Structure 1
Amino acid sequence: MLIRVLFAVLVVVSLVLGYAGLAEYLATSTQFAHRPVDLLYYDLQLFVINSGPVSNGGPYPWPLEISRFLTPAVTGYAVVEAARLLFATEIARLRARRRARHIIVCGSSVAARTLATHLEAQHPVVRVDSARSPATLVAAGLARADRLYALADETPANIATVLAASQVERRAHASLEVYAHVADPELGDALRDRGWKNELEVDFFSLDGVAAKQVLAAVEPDGERLVVIGLSAFGRALLLELARRAGRGIVDVIVADPDGEPVVAELRARHPFFAAACRVAVVPVYIPEPGVHLVFVCHDDEERALRDGLTAAATVDATRGTVIVRMAQLAGVGEMIVQHGHEDRLRFVGVLDMASVYLSERITDSLARAVHRRYLRDQRALGQDVADNPSLVDWDELPDTLRDANRASAGDIERKLAMVGCRMVPSLEEVPFAFEPEEVERLAVAEHERWTAERKADGWRLGARRDNARKLHPDLRPWQELGEAERQKDRNVVLALPEILADAGYRIVRRAPRVQRNR
């Protein structure tokens, strides 16, 4: 802004000095006219170094002498600035081509802008409004990018972005994580299992599905009467996630939606695990009853969600009721209401912010939490508590060293699965999976070698008895030297992988054999 103001001042000064100098210089001239309009014309010609009165070499009055050098300089700066603005887009594209390990966010939606803003705090980000062609992604530097997010409002636009990405030649040995939003989770499952050119693997996800998973992981319903008001995409995702988390039990849910019957019937028909795990009572309007309630208000219309949330919070059991309201752009309004103490039973979840946080983290963070949850369950089942084992605390209370250990274990899951021709894919439904005995043994050896290398890198040494303070452990020896009980610990880690992945919302599938193509 300051440079532009200075430029404008120089233009005015050049004009004034030029006009004054020409008026003095041509006052007695018989060769050049010196009416005011003629002086202005000659003055403007100074900017293109083509003014007739100053072509004979002078001498000239000092104002004209200054102006005849200043005006071309101003013109030169204007040309350079115009060229810079004209080619700014192309320069940005050239820079993008040379970028490496950056993240590309495609789409002009609120979700795309929210995610890009969240990512820019820690990563180099290239934003693209629309990327339906490979050329657009090449210009954004996809060949060297780490991640690609397709977050347009329309599902076809995001699928088109994935198709375009599959046609871009990647740098050798460069991995690419692709995330594409689809409104229908079932469509995402179908697309995820397809083969893509250049072995591109894509995580098709639903923003509301991600938020539903995060919400239930945070609140962990246990004994409350569950109520879902409004069967929006978020409401349907909540029901499916509740069913998935039910295990072998039955979940009772009240659905308050005047049009809920056909939606629930469709969910039962399309998802057998939902029909088996959820017992749903559909009512047109929610009428609170005494008891412990956990109410989810799920309307897409945020004004309606806010109204129904406030109404529910005012009528549920004052001491044992919690109302969770889905918000997107009005999430901040909900926080303001809670912070000012108007309704302490209200909780507002911002699906865009929540999904952005989830998507911006690498997959290993969600898996690391699942690994730790499984560890807690196993140790507590053995009668251990925090007094016996200080690591038996929630994830947020874990020391950084133990979090990193869980992340290392989670980060190695994909490598181990690839060793036996498997991979993990996001899935709402827990699909049974079993490794072959020889696969269990092979992966158990790999897990022990990973664990041994990790412990040694952290300074642990072989000792007759475990001593956390001195970093001594009796299992820091080759697989061949382990006893059968110690080997079984590693086998148990492998056997638990399907359940750990299901807890994080994934399942294991075997890779299809590659088809040899004739050239």
Structure 2
Amino acid sequence: MAEMADMAETESKVEGGAEDSYRSIEKVIESVRLDREKAMRLKVYVRMGMTAAAFLLGWWGYLTTHAGAIKLVDIANYAYQASQLLVFNMPQGVLHNQIPWQLQVARFALPGLAIYGSVMTYLDMVRAPLATWWAARKRNHVMVVGGSARTLKVTKRCVVVGIPVVVVLPEGDGTVKELRTLGLPVIVGSLDSPDTFQRAGIAGARATLLLAGSDAANLRALLSATEEAERRRTAGQEPLEIACELQSRMMSGMLAASMAERRGGAAECHIIDFDDVIARQLLPVLAPVLGRRDAPHLVMIGSDELALQVARRLLLNIGENGHVTVICENAEAAARNFFQNLPGRTDFLGLHFLQGGSDLAAASDEALEAAMAAGSPHALVISGSDEIAMARTLQAIRWLRARGEPPIPVLVRQRAGQTLARAGRLSIPDGDWAARLATFGDDGDECDPEALLRGHIDRLARAVHQAYLDLSPEGPSAVPWSGLAETFRESCRRQADHVHIKLARLCLEACLEQDGEALVLDPARIEDLAEFEHWRWCVDRWLDGWTLGERKDVAAQISPHLKPYAQLDEAIKEFDRAAVRNIPAVLAAAGLAARPQGDIYGMAR
């Protein structure tokens, strides 16, 4: 799944019978490979057929010049003479006489085809070196750097969606041949060498993805990439987008904070958070629940980092009366981890951490019973390894069915695809419950290059920020996007995420522009959504550590506007209204429109 521009794909993939995206990617890649092989074989067969036809034509021409009975030795002799046409060799006697049309054609066609075949064979031999040479001269492409499994998956996704890509691999990597069979330029060299990046065309690249598989290799590649970005800057080029994978959470946090302070430089760098990529992609799917006007209740079952990221995203997008319940093995440790960047805070309105059972049975009957204190759930999201997540899912569904709860959407993380989900649906006796079991977060979702580079979401966030600047505000956030602090950039991204939920509040959904209509908002809708937007903004600021105070102080993270919408001045309310009025422009920036909401999983309104 991608961001808003991939809405249609997102919703189709989560349907019960849908095929997992990564398997589809593999099918497309195999189709590309087979098409290339078929095209190459076809060219060989055509060349061979045309050469054979020209040879037979020349042979026929020689036979027509023969006087008398044709013997077997004459046939062989004329066949030999026809073959000599390949090198422009014709008998003198024939040249002095009138040449038959067959021979006239053959004496030009055979040498010409021989030259063409030789040139094409040579080009086939040097195609890979030529692609490597041309890579340094490419423009507006994405560089995928590294030799990890993710490098291969991201590259394949680029091929499928049509993103121009140059792959940089370390020496000795075994995937070079496989990628070159797809016709991709592959640069082999040291990942910490500026020369390697120059040969990959970093001077004209749009973005660079660093996926070497180890923190040390990625950091060395990051230094080389930023060095080359400085050279681009002196040449007057746009900043280079760099996305870097790091395994260490501590290192990621330190570098992310450092990169956030260096906005407006030669490179726009960020650390890839794969869990956050997956969590963000869930929002369009869960929008009908998050946008409910009553008290929506979503239950997250899991003890990994993804569970906390999903809980955070849900909390950022749910309404003021909503509830998010997290059932995990160690509720106290999970809460401590969730609030580690919020000193002094140990709870949050609408968020509940409940103690579950063992790893396999994290959603114990007691924990599910306790979750009911916030009301019957409207959706379940379950994470963990594929097998454990599916076991938790079936256990939770069995318990809810036994209580007589109505069927609700159940989203389960499955990295490997749909196999376990299909088996799980077969084991659920109730067809309505089985139809609402869907998967998310497979390799195709995790390795979407646009999501990793924040391509779609940043385009929308820029539109959000520009609408804010049009109001002529004051303060540190009233600057162009290039100089905007990361905390405000992320706030714009979160506002863009919330467009799906606001549409769902109106019983609408985003769709491709040609499939919907322009969104028209009357004053009553604008005021309703403005209050919804203000609550979202408050949660956004609270979870970033901001508190209420008399005067705004960005350094101290204090704002006088962290209070109910009804208590705001009209001037401040106008910022929320402007955010709502800007929704059609945000949709248009992604090539989207709005249409009446479909019956996703039969979600009740």
Q: 1:414-425 maps to which residues of 2 (within 5 A)?
A: none
Look up the match of 1:448: none
SS at match of 1:283: coil
Q: 1:260-339 maps to which residues of 2 (within 5 A)?
A: 267=337, 276-277=346-347, 279-284=353-358, 285=361, 286-288=363-365, 289-290=368-369, 291=372, 292-293=376-377, 294-301=379-386, 305-306=389-390, 308-317=392-401, 318-319=405-406, 322-328=409-415, 330=417
Structure scoring higher RCO (CA < 8 A, sep ≥ 6) equals: 2
Distance 1:265-1:392 versus aligned 2 partners, 3 A rule: closer
- In structure 2, which of residues 157, 164, 168 is the aligned counterpart of residue 114 of structure 1? 157
After superposition, the C-alpha distances for 1:369-427 in whole angstroms (9 at most, x for unaligned) are: 644769x99xxxxxxxx9754324669x99xxxxxxx9xxx9xxxxxxxxxxxxxxx99
Is structure 2 residue 221 aligned with structure 1 residue 178? no
Alpha-carbon distance between aligned partners in 2 of 1:55 and 1:342, rounded to the nearest angstrom: 89
Distance 1:143-1:300 versus aligned 2 partners, 3 A rule: farther
What is the number of residues matched between the two proteins? 398
Alpha-carbon distance between aligned partners in 2 of 1:434 and 1:145, rounded to the nearest angstrom: 44
Distance 1:304-1:77 versus aligned 2 partners, 3 A rule: farther
- In structure 2, which of residues 268, 283, 301 is the aligned counterpart of residue 228 of structure 1? 301
SS at match of 2:440: strand
Distance 1:19-1:335 versus aligned 2 partners, 3 A rule: same
Alpha-carbon distance between aligned partners in 2 of 1:273 and 1:251, rounded to the nearest angstrom: 21
Look up the match of 1:209: 276
Alpha-carbon offset, residue 74 of structure 1 = 0.3
Alpha-carbon distance between aligned partners in 1 of 2:414 and 2:445, rounded to the nearest angstrom: 10
Look up the match of 1:348: 439
- In structure 2, which of residues 200, 218, 224 is the aligned counterpart of residue 164 of structure 1? 224
Distance 1:44-1:369 versus aligned 2 partners, 3 A rule: same
Q: 1:451-466 maps to which residues of 2 (within 5 A)?
A: none
After superposition, the C-alpha distances for 1:75-97 in whole angstroms (9 at most, x for unaligned) are: 12113323443444455456554
Distance 1:282-1:364 versus aligned 2 partners, 3 A rule: same
Look up the match of 2:456: 361
Alpha-carbon distance between aligned partners in 2 of 1:12 and 1:47, rounded to the nearest angstrom: 11
Alpha-carbon distance between aligned partners in 1 of 2:344 and 2:299, rounded to the nearest angstrom: 15
- In structure 1, which of residues 48, 55, 64 is the aligned counterpart of residue 87 of structure 2? 48
After superposition, the C-alpha distances for 1:312-359 in whole angstroms (9 at most, x for unaligned) are: 334325327542211345269969979x85624434324556553643
Scaled by the length of structure 1, the TM-score of the pair is: 0.57
Q: 1:139-150 maps to which residues of 2 (within 5 A)?
A: 139-150=199-210
Query: AA paired with 1:323?
Result: V
- In structure 2, which of residues 33, 52, 71 is the aligned counterpart of residue 12 of structure 1? 52
Report percent identity of matched pairs. Answer: 18
After superposition, the C-alpha distances for 1:177-212 in whole angstroms (9 at most, x for unaligned) are: 222233444432223345799743311112222212
Alpha-carbon distance between aligned partners in 2 of 1:351 and 1:274, rounded to the nearest angstrom: 36
SS at match of 1:167: helix
Distance 1:144-1:331 versus aligned 2 partners, 3 A rule: farther
Look up the match of 1:254: 327
Alpha-carbon offset, residue 72 of structure 1 = 0.6
SS at match of 1:348: strand
Alpha-carbon offset, residue 433 of structure 1 = 9.3
After superposition, the C-alpha distances for 1:480-499 in whole angstroms (9 at most, x for unaligned) are: xxxxx89x749999xxxxxx
Query: AA paired with 1:144?
Result: G
Distance 1:150-1:300 versus aligned 2 partners, 3 A rule: farther
Alpha-carbon offset, residue 19 of structure 1 = 4.3
Distance 1:490-1:279 versus aligned 2 partners, 3 A rule: closer
Scaled by the length of structure 2, the TM-score of the pair is: 0.50
Unaligned runs of 5+ in 1: 378-385, 399-405, 411-425, 441-484, 494-519
Query: AA paired with 1:253?
Result: V
User: Could you say which structure has the larger radius of gyration?
Assistant: 1
Distance 1:393-1:324 versus aligned 2 partners, 3 A rule: farther
Distance 1:3-1:79 versus aligned 2 partners, 3 A rule: same
Alpha-carbon offset, residue 4 of structure 1 = 4.9
SS at match of 1:316: helix
Query: AA paired with 1:9?
Result: G
Query: AA paired with 1:361?
Result: H
Look up the match of 2:173: none
SS at match of 1:85: helix
Q: 1:63-78 maps to which residues of 2 (within 5 A)?
A: 63-78=102-117
Unaligned runs of 5+ in 2: 1-38, 170-186, 462-490, 503-520, 555-568, 577-605
